[in-house]
Amino acid sequence: PKRFVQFARNVMGVKGEGSDEEIIRKGIKTFRRFLKKMGAPKNLKELGAEKADPKELAKKAVEIPGKLGNFFPLYEKDIVKIYKLMR
């Protein structure tokens, strides 16, 4: 949570007081508005890939490195869960 609070405050510009959870939620809302303003897709449907197989997408995502990320490594099973949430 500490890193997400830092992201919300330092990158997304979230101001004010609140619990870590409240600050994180404000950061997510701000990030979503940013994506919309940029015209970037925020889910698989908007990307035109809602029918894509999450297992196949995850397999391709980690095909060469074996995992994604350094701060919080994501493995194929983690990525499958994320893709399912993105539908």
And the tokens for 86? 């993105």
Start-end of H helices in 1-87:
2-6, 20-38, 44-47, 54-61, 76-85
Using the predicted structure, report yes or no on whether residue 71 has a pLDDT greater than 90: no
Find the helix or strand (DSSP H, E) in which 55 lies: helix 54-61
Of the two residues 73 and 4, the one the predictor is more confident about is 4
Question: Where residue 46 falls among pLDDT bands split at 50, 70, 90?
Answer: confident
